[in-house]
Amino acid sequence: MRIEPGEAKAIKAAAAYAFGADAVVRLFGSRVDDARKGGDIDLHVEVAPEIDEWNARLRFEDNLFARIDEQRVDVTVHKRGNPLRGIDLVARRDGIAL
């Protein structure tokens, strides 16, 4: 996994703040492969169905970038109970829960 322990802690804290304490955050994509270099931080966040996704995304990014240096972060949100999309399946299969 190619993020620093402090970054993982900041991501988890920002996700709990913005999406709720029961949010499950997974790192997926190129950052899970230690042999690769660079790449953005791809995050999959599984949230409760009642979460206001768009406002929560803004709160997440604001809170995260107050904790770590601003960089490219892509966030995919899946509301529990909704049908799984392809990206949800990939993140669950290949991702690392933070």
- Domain boundaries defined on the chain: 5-97
Residues 17 and 1: their CA atoms lie apart, in Å, by 23
Q: The domain 5-97 is classified under which CATH number: 3.30.460.10, 3.40.50.150, 3.40.50.2020, 3.30.70.890?
A: 3.30.460.10
Res. 38: pLDDT tops 80:
no
How is residue 18 written in tokens? Answer: 């913005």
pLDDT computed for residue 70 by the predictor = 83
pLDDT computed for residue 36 by the predictor = 80
* Choice between 56 and 36, residue whose per-residue pLDDT is larger: 56
- Nearest-CA neighbor of 44 among 4, 73, 65? 73
- pTM for the whole structure: 0.92
Residues 14 and 46: their CA atoms lie apart, in Å, by 14
